[in-house]
C-alpha cells in the first residue's frame, strides 16, 4: 500500500471542480395518458455509464503454514509432504462499485471497498471483460469515502446534484453491481434525511432510502429522477444480510467536499473543538429556553473550545450562523472545517445567548478528560437525594477499572424510588461536576449539594453508556 501512495504524489498539486447539475426548479406528479407509460430510462441512461465495477485483490498469508513450529525438524520429518503442498499465501477477492466523476478517470467509492487492497481493478459499463488497474488518490476512513484513478480519458462521468435540495418522498435510483451480477438499477424513494448515530461511520449524515442496496452496491451511485448524483451508496440495515428496504447513502454535499480535498491534498484534516457533547434531553430543555443544539459535557483544558471561553453545559446552537440541531450535527459541521479555521459559535449559558470566535485545532483520535487531583479523604461517603457517593480510592479505581485521569466521586448505591433513581443515576456512575462546581471528592459533592439545595441541578456523570447530563431535583 505504501508504494501506491508514492505513485500518486504527482496527482496532488492540482485543483479539482465538479460539474454541477442545474438546481431543482419543479416537481411533477405522474398522470395517466393512453399509450403513455412513465419511464426513467432516458433520465438515467447517461449516469449509468459512469458507474463502474471495482474488484480488489489482497494477499493473505496462510497463518498455519507460516507458523514457526513448521520449521522444527520433527515437524518437517513427519509432515514434510503436507507442508510442501500447502499454499503459503492466498488471494482474497471482493467486489464493489464506484462512480466516475471526471472525464480523465477520477472515481469515488467507499473506503471499505478498497481498504487494504494490494490491487484494484476497474471495469467500465458494457465492457466487463476489460479491466484497468487503479491507483489510490486518497481515502478518508472516518467518512468511508475514497478516490481512485484510472489512466483513461474521455470517460462518461456523473454530474453532481445538491443533496441539500432533497426531500423525503423524492424518487431515487441505486446503481451498482450487486453480488457481482453486473450493472443493476433499483428504484425507490428517499425515506429520511440527515440520519446520524447509525453506527457505521464516524461522520454520518446519511440519506436513507428503500431502493434496494445489496452487497456489491457499496460505492455505487444514488441518483435522482433527473439522473444527477445525490449520494454514494454505503450500507444497509439488515439482520440477515438481505435487503429490508433500509439503505444508507453518503449525501453528495459531503461527497463533493471530501472528494475535492482528497484529490487536491491527498488526505483530510478536520477541525477540532476538543469537547464532549450530548443532545438536549427533556430534563434539560427548560434550562435552555426550549432550544435545541449540542450541550458541552466535557472540555479538554487546552482545547480550542476552552481557549475561546466555552464551558461545560454551554449549549451550542449555531456555527457561522448555521443552526445546530444536535450533537451529531455539531460534529459533522465542525468536521467540514480545517485546522486553524476560525468559526463563530453561538451558544446559550444560563439562559442568555452569547457568541465567541473559536480557532479550531487539529482533530485528535482520543481526548482525555478529567484531572489528576487527589481526593480529599476528610469525608469518605455522603448520602443526598437518595444517592450514596464515595471518594475514588485506588481500590475502587481498580475494581471499576477507572483511569487515573478521571476525577470525581463514585455512586455506591441509589435508593429505590428516590429522586436520584428517577433522574437516572446508577451504581458505578462517576459524578465529576454539579452546576459550576468541579467534584474531586465527597466534600466537593456535599458543598455543591448544599449550594444548590432547593433547585434542579445539572450533574455531569460518566456512565457505562458514555458521558451524560442528569438533572437532580
112 classed as catalytic: yes
Output the pLDDT for position 106. Answer: 94
- Look up residue 251 and give its three cell numbers: 449525501
Output the pLDDT for position 354. Answer: 93
Q: 144, 253, 329, 429: which is the annotated catalytic residue? A: 144
Q: How far is CA 49 from the centre of its chain?
A: 30
Domains and CATH numbers, the chain: 2-8+44-149 (2.40.10.10), 163-265 (2.40.10.10), 271-362 (2.30.42.10), 381-472 (2.30.42.10)
- Look up residue 143 and give its three cell numbers: 467518512
Output the pLDDT for position 385. Answer: 74
Neighbours of 71 (CB within 10 A): 10
341 classed as catalytic: no
Place of cell 485506588: 394
144 classed as catalytic: yes
Contacts of 161 (CB under 8 A, 6+ apart): 20, 21, 24, 223, 224, 226, 228, 229, 230, 252
Q: What is the pTM of this model?
A: 0.64
What's the angle, vertex CA 330, arms to CA 230 and CA 192, rounded to 5?
Answer: 40
Output the pLDDT for position 30. Answer: 65
Output the pLDDT for position 399. Answer: 60
Neighbours of 382 (CB within 10 A): 18
Give the residues across from 221 on adjacent strands: 175, 232
Nearest partner of 259 among 224, 236, 232, judged by Cα: 232
CA–CA gap between residue 334 and residue 273 (Å, rounded): 8
Nearest partner of 423 among 276, 219, 284, 274, judged by Cα: 284
Q: 218, 303, 363, 385: which is the annotated catalytic residue? A: 218
Q: 55, 97, 112, 444: which is the annotated catalytic residue? A: 112
By the 8 A CB rule, do 215 and 235 touch? no
Contacts of 390 (CB under 8 A, 6+ apart): 380, 381, 396, 409, 410, 412, 442
Q: What are phi and psi of 87, to 5 degrees?
A: -65, 135
Residue count of the chain, please give it: 473
pLDDT tens string for the chain (473 positions)? Answer: 344 333 333 444 578 888 888 888 887 766 666 677 778 888 888 898 989 988 888 776 555 555 555 556 655 555 555 555 555 555 556 678 899 999 999 999 998 888 888 888 998 887 767 888 999 999 888 888 999 999 998 999 999 999 888 999 999 999 988 766 677 888 899 998 887 766 677 777 888 888 888 777 788 899 998 899 999 998 766 555 555 668 889 999 999 989 998 999 888 888 888 888 888 888 788 888 888 888 888 787 788 898 999 988 899 999 999 999 888 888 888 888 888 999 999 999 988 899 999 999 887 543 332 333 333 344 556 666 778 888 887 667 666 667 666 778 888 778 877 888 888 888 888 888 888 888 888 888 888 888 888 788 888 888 877 778 888 87
Amino acid at each position: 500500500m505504501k508504494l501506491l501512495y508514492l505513485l500518486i504524489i504527482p496527482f496532488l498539486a492540482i485543483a479539482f471542480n465538479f460539474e454541477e447539475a442545474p438546481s431543482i426548479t419543479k416537481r411533477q406528479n405522474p398522470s395517466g395518458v393512453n399509450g403513455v407509460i412513465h419511464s426513467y430510462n432516458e433520465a438515467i441512461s447517461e449516469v449509468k455509464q459512469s458507474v463502474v465495477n471495482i474488484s480488489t485483490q489482497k494477499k493473505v498469508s496462510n497463518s498455519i503454514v507460516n507458523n514457526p513450529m513448521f520449521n522444527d525438524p520433527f515437524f518437517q520429518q513427519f509432515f514434510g509432504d503436507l507442508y510442501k503442498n500447502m499454499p503459503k499465501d492466498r488471494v482474497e477477492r471482493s467486489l464493489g462499485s464506484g462512480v466516475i466523476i471526471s472525464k480523465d478517470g477520477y472515481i469515488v467509492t467507499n473506503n471499505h471497498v478498497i481498504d487494504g487492497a494490494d490491487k484494484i481493478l476497474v471495469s467500465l459499463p458494457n465492457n466487463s471483460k476489460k479491466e484497468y488497474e487503479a491507483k489510490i488518490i486518497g481515502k478518508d476512513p472516518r467518512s468511508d469515502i475514497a478516490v481512485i484513478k484510472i489512466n483513461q480519458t474521455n470517460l462518461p462521468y456523473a454530474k453532481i446534484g445538491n443533496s441539500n435540495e432533497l426531500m423525503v418522498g423524492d424518487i431515487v435510483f441505486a446503481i451498482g453491481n450487486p453480488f457481482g451480477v453486473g450493472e443493476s438499477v433499483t428504484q425507490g424513494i428517499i425515506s429520511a434525511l440527515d440520519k446520524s448515530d447509525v453506527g457505521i461511520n464516524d461522520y454520518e449524515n446519511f440519506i436513507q432510502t428503500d431502493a434496494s442496496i445489496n452487497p456489491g452496491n457499496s460505492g455505487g451511485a444514488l441518483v435522482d429522477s433527473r439522473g444527477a448524483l445525490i449520494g454514494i451508496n454505503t450500507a444497509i440495515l439488515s439482520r440477515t444480510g438481505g435487503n429490508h428496504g433500509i439503505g444508507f447513502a453518503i449525501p453528495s454535499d459531503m461527497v463533493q467536499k471530501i472528494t475535492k480535498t482528497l484529490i487536491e491534498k491527498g488526505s483530510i484534516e478536520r477541525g477540532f473543538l476538543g469537547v464532549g457533547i450530548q443532545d438536549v434531553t427533556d430534563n434539560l430543555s427548560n434550562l435552555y429556553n426550549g432550544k435545541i443544539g449540542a450541550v458541552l459535557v466535557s472540555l479538554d483544558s487546552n482545547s480550542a473550545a476552552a481557549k475561546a471561553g466555552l464551558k461545560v453545559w454551554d449549549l451550542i446552537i449555531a456555527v457561522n450562523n448555521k443552526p445546530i440541531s444536535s450533537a451529531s450535527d455539531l460534529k459533522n459541521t465542525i468536521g467540514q472545517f480545517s485546522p486553524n479555521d476560525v468559526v463563530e459559535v453561538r451558544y446559550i449559558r444560563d439562559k442568555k445567548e452569547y457568541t465567541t470566535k473559536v480557532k479550531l485545532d487539529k482533530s485528535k483520535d482520543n481526548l482525555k478528560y478529567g484531572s489528576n487531583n487527589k481526593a480529599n479523604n476528610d469525608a469518605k461517603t455522603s448520602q443526598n437525594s437518595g444517592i450514596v457517593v464515595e471518594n475514588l480510592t485506588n481500590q475502587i479505581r481498580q475494581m471499576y477499572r477507572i483511569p487515573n485521569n478521571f476525577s470525581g466521586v463514585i455512586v455506591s448505591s441509589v435508593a429505590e424510588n428516590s429522586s436520584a433513581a428517577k433522574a437516572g443515576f446508577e451504581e458505578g456512575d462517576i459524578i465529576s461536576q454539579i452546576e459550576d462546581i468541579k467534584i474531586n471528592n465527597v466534600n466537593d459533592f456535599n458543598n455543591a449539594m448544599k449550594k444548590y439545595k432547593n433547585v434542579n441541578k445539572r450533574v455531569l456523570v460518566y456512565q457505562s453508556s458514555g458521558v451524560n447530563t442528569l438533572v437532580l431535583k
